[in-house]
Amino acid sequence: MWREFRDFAVRGSVVDLAVGLILGAAFTTIVNSLVNDILMPPIGLLLGGIDFSDFFITIKGASYPTVAAAKAGGAVTINYGLFVNAIIKFVIVAFAVFLLVKQINRLKINLAPAAAAASKTEVLLEEIRDVLKEQAAKT
């Protein structure tokens, strides 16, 4: 059982997956900073100085100016501004992954050997086979 586990763990695809998860976690930090620190402030400024992360609806409790204040006060809230931020982050990550996969596919070397041209004998044999199939189908 240990040998099977070792073989599974050192298989190339598992190691690639582990590297991908580590890079994905680091990439998530970068995307979070991009959305929260670069994209959302100008968008909020264009909309009149609004911070999307403070868009919420209080279901139960008093009215609060921010999500943090509502949580500190024990209010039950629907934080749709944070949801908008999450959607923007997802779109950025999905687009970045799309570009990465597209570039990898573009750079991928075709390792399959080119199909050799059929010899005259093979072509003749294929024609004979096709004629025999047609005759068998007619009978």
CATH code of the domain in which 30 resides: 1.10.1200.120
In a domain, 82, yes or no: yes
Distance (Å, rounded) from C-alpha 65 to C-alpha 54? Answer: 8
- Averaged over 87-94, what is the pLDDT? 82
Phi and psi angles of residue 14, each rounded to the nearest 5 degrees, phi first: -70, -40
Helix, strand, coil share of the chain (percent; to 5): 70, 5, 25
In a domain, 34, yes or no: yes
Number of domains composing the chain: 1
Give percent of the chain with pLDDT exceeding 70: 89
| Residue 78 predicted with pLDDT over 90 | yes
CB 70 within 8 A of CB 61: yes
Distance (Å, rounded) from C-alpha 53 to C-alpha 55? Answer: 6
In a domain, 121, yes or no: no
Q: Which domain holds residue 19?
A: 2-114
Please give the DSSP secondary-structure letter assigned to residue 54. Answer: G
In a domain, 94, yes or no: yes
